[in-house]
Structure 1
Amino acid sequence: MRFNRKVIVIVLGVAVVLALILAIWMPYNTTISNMDFSVDDSNGNYHFEVNEKLNFALNDSLDYGDRDMIWYMGNGDTIKRVSNVFYKYKEKGKYMVTLSVDDKYKISKYIEVISLPKKKAKDSIARIYGADVGYVGEELVFSSYGPGIDSWYWEFGETGTVDAYEGQVVYIYKTPGMYNVKLKTNTSKYPVAHRIQILPLFEAIEEAEQLDSLSMAQEDIKKRLQTIADASIGNNRDYYRSLRHIENQYTCNDADEVIVVINGARYNDLYSYCQGLHHLEGKGEKTVIISEVAIDTFKCLKKIKVTQSLINP
């Protein structure tokens, strides 16, 4: 009995000592097992760049007290500090950053440092993107975007004042004429300009035409195409008036979907066909004759069959 009691006392003593050791060691070990750090870039574009100040920060740093910490930056540099360091890499590449605590607990992460291309001076110049020719009452879209631009001041030349303040705007001219569109931005000293010609609406006699039959519509389209073919290359007025007439009268404002079949064998979209008719075949040693136009409907048509020929003048 006395032997058993001694054994029991010894076992209990050992258990108490082990319990004390675990009580002291486990919180310390748990904190270390959850050790982690984050890396943040200073310009907020989510890239780690050459010569950019990067912030390496230990998560839950208050849990680490006065432990000895060493940051190994992956390029031979080391930083002895507590929980928060700033560092700039001089060269691009992949680096393994390691944080060592008490020279016993370590955590590592790979980061990639990149070198962004330098912006050329010309890339910072504001430019206006928009049509060169438009019509009275037409919704015309103008846009301009560039590095560092965050304010726009548009003048469309009709009102004499600033008309819009966004990067992309829609403007409707009320009067025909030649206008100088001006744009001033926060990155430019002087406004940039864009010329646009605004044409009038169709003449009253054209607006009053009532095309109440398929044959009349075919003859009308034939006349417009012949006008495009006969117009000189510099005569954009007749070209655009005839094209817009076909577009507005017969395509339900969906001219992009209209197919032109030439002499039963060749195919083009309406815009490409009219442009080729005007610039490529209408002038020079040969002349285009539009002899026949056939359509299935004059309301929202999708196909125009054209019979044409080239003759020597």
Structure 2
Amino acid sequence: MSNKLKLAILIFIALLLLILAIFIPYKSRLSNLDFYISESNNNYQFEVGEKLFFLLNDTTLVNGRDVVWHLGNGDSIVKAGNINYKYPKKGKYLVSIAVNNKFIASKKIGVVSLPKISPRDSLVKIHGVDEGYAGEELVFFTEGKGVNTWYWEFGETGTVDAYEKQVIYRYTKPGDYRVKLQTNTLKYPIYHYIRILPRFEKVEELEKVDSLGVVQNDIKKRLQAIADSKVTDRSTFYKNLNYIKNNYTCNQAEDILVIVNGGRYNDFFSYCQGLHYLENKRRSKIIINKVEIDTIKCFKRLNVTQSLLR
């Protein structure tokens, strides 16, 4: 064998080893490529029209490569890095990232559509039960933009009884009462009418009366179970959703207003769906810190305080 032939063989082997050294490690590293999804308004659900962020776990893995993001609704974005996108319609979508025409990672995402708040919803309104019992703790609260002063008169004392946005009042005598509220945004006061019934002190009936705190903790536990369940675990989702609906809403869950962390308004079903479909659960966890309802029987308002652990 001539020296030239030996040299050619050595050069070929060296080039082959160089190619293997470059591409085999890259292929191995590319298998570690992943992405997660983050939402912009921090209310723990993906919504129609909300800017969502699709973030790679390591952008260096795609440098110099052909990268296409497929959003699952026919749209795609060509970019070798992080992207953001707004979904125009609600639905369930399979988001995928392809590198060099090969699909590397995919995730399912649920996008919900929240009810639009009309100008009527911005008016000051009193929320409270229409009927209660003497001695029972009754919750009253109000909503309205720009309100920072509240003057509550519950019609029993003849004077102002409370000065907060949400109050608990206990009537001492049965009767029909007119609840009066004046705020800094109202020219004239608004009213709410309530009938207070006598409380019958029967032991067997009192044993059945649950405290507000027990009910709130029960709802909190059910919401936490929904938040902890996997996206594919529809059984746990419906079990706890229907439990709350059947036991505490008088089967009128569609009329319930959910206020998240004091500032975000949802309907009950959209809120529960958002808890269940929150993406990136392996990197974050929703903690239901506190739940408040306006009344034990057929509540219409659910105030949730929650946090996101990453």
TM range (shorter): 0.3 to 0.5
Greater RCO (CA < 8 Å, at least 6 residues apart): 2
Superposition TM-score, scaled by structure 2 size: 0.46
Superposition TM-score, scaled by structure 1 size: 0.46
Bigger Cα Rg: 1
